[in-house]
Structure 1
Amino acid sequence: MSNIATLAYKSAYAEPASPKPANFAELAAISIDDLTLEFQPGRPVLDKISLSIPHGQFVSIVGPSGCGKTTMLNLLAGLINVPYSGDIRLLQHPPRLGSHDVAYMLARDCMLPWRDALGNASFGMEVRGVSKQECQERATRLLARVGLAGFESAYPKQLSHGMRQRCALARTFALDSSVLLMDEPFGALDVQTKLQLEELLVDLWQAERRTVVLITHDIGEAIAVSDRVIVMSGRPGRIVSDTLISLPRPRSVRELQKSAEFHKIYAHIWEKLEGDWRASDAN
Structure 2
Amino acid sequence: MIELREVSKAFQTDKGYTWAVGDVSLKIEQGEFVSIVGPSGCGKSTLLNLIAGFLEPTAGTIEIDKTPVKGKLHPTLGYIFQKDTLLPWYNVYKNVALGLRFHGVPENQVRKKVAQLLELGHLSGFEHAYPHQLSGGMRRRVALLMSLAVEPRLLMLDEPFGALDTHTKTHLHRELMEIWRKLGQTVVMVTHDLDEAITLSDRVVVLSSPPSKVLLDERIHIPHPRDVFTVRESPAFVAHFQSVWSVLGQQFRTAA
TM-score (norm 2): 0.94
Deviation at 1:208, TM superposition (A): 1.9
Equivalent-residue separation in structure 1 for 2:188 and 2:74 (angstroms)? 16
Aligned pairs for 1:143-182 (under 5 A) are 143-182=118-157
Counterpart contact for 1:247–1:261, Cα < 8 Å: yes
Which residue of structure 2 lines up, in the alignment, with residue 194 of structure 1? 169
Q: Which amino acid in 2 is paired with 1:88? A: I
Which residue of structure 1 lines up, in the alignment, with residue 99 of structure 2? 124
Q: Partner of 1:135: helix, strand, or coil?
A: helix
RMSD: 1.5
Equivalent-residue separation in structure 2 for 1:277 and 1:108 (angstroms)? 25
Q: Partner of 1:59: helix, strand, or coil?
A: strand
Deviation at 1:280, TM superposition (A): 4.5
Counterpart contact for 2:8–2:23, Cα < 8 Å: yes
Q: Please state if 1:37 is matched with 2:9.
A: yes
Consecutive unaligned residues of structure 2, counting only runs of 5 or more, are none
Equivalent-residue separation in structure 2 for 1:143 and 1:109 (angstroms)? 18
> Closer, same or farther in 2 for the Cα pair 1:157/1:254, shift >3 Å?
same
Q: Which amino acid in 1 is paired with 2:153? A: S
Q: Please state if 1:87 is matched with 2:87.
A: no
Deviation at 1:279, TM superposition (A): 4.2
Which residue of structure 2 lines up, in the alignment, with residue 13 of structure 1? none
Q: Please state if 1:70 is matched with 2:45.
A: yes
Q: Partner of 1:254: helix, strand, or coil?
A: coil
Q: Partner of 1:172: helix, strand, or coil?
A: helix
Equivalent-residue separation in structure 1 for 2:75 and 2:189 (angstroms)? 18
Aligned pairs for 1:1-283 (under 5 A) are 29-40=1-12, 41-81=16-56, 84-95=58-69, 96-280=71-255
Equivalent-residue separation in structure 2 for 1:136 and 1:280 (angstroms)? 50
Counterpart contact for 1:64–1:234, Cα < 8 Å: yes
Deviation at 1:38, TM superposition (A): 0.9
Counterpart contact for 1:240–1:276, Cα < 8 Å: no
Q: How many residues align?
A: 252
Q: Which amino acid in 1 is paired with 2:5? A: D
Consecutive unaligned residues of structure 1, counting only runs of 5 or more, are 1-28
TM-score (norm 1): 0.85
Q: Partner of 1:163: helix, strand, or coil?
A: helix
1:83-135 C-alpha deviation (Å, 9 max, x unpaired): 51111111221224343221111112310011110111111222122222222
Stretch moving more, 122-131 or 157-166: 122-131
Equivalent-residue separation in structure 2 for 1:65 and 1:128 (angstroms)? 37
Deviation at 1:73, TM superposition (A): 1.1
Equivalent-residue separation in structure 2 for 1:42 and 1:114 (angstroms)? 40
Identity %: 39
Higher relative contact order (CA 8 A, sep 6+): 2
> Closer, same or farther in 2 for the Cα pair 1:98/1:38, shift >3 Å?
closer
Q: Which amino acid in 2 is paired with 1:197? A: L
Counterpart contact for 2:54–2:73, Cα < 8 Å: no
Q: Partner of 1:56: helix, strand, or coil?
A: coil
Stretch moving more, 182-191 or 130-139: 130-139
1:54-95 C-alpha deviation (Å, 9 max, x unpaired): 1111100011221111111111121124x5111111122122
1:206-263 C-alpha deviation (Å, 9 max, x unpaired): 1122110001111111011110000111222211110000001111111202212111
Counterpart contact for 1:139–1:171, Cα < 8 Å: no
Counterpart contact for 1:182–1:212, Cα < 8 Å: yes
Stretch moving more, 258-267 or 46-55: 258-267
Q: Which runs of 4+ in 1 moved over 6 A?
A: none
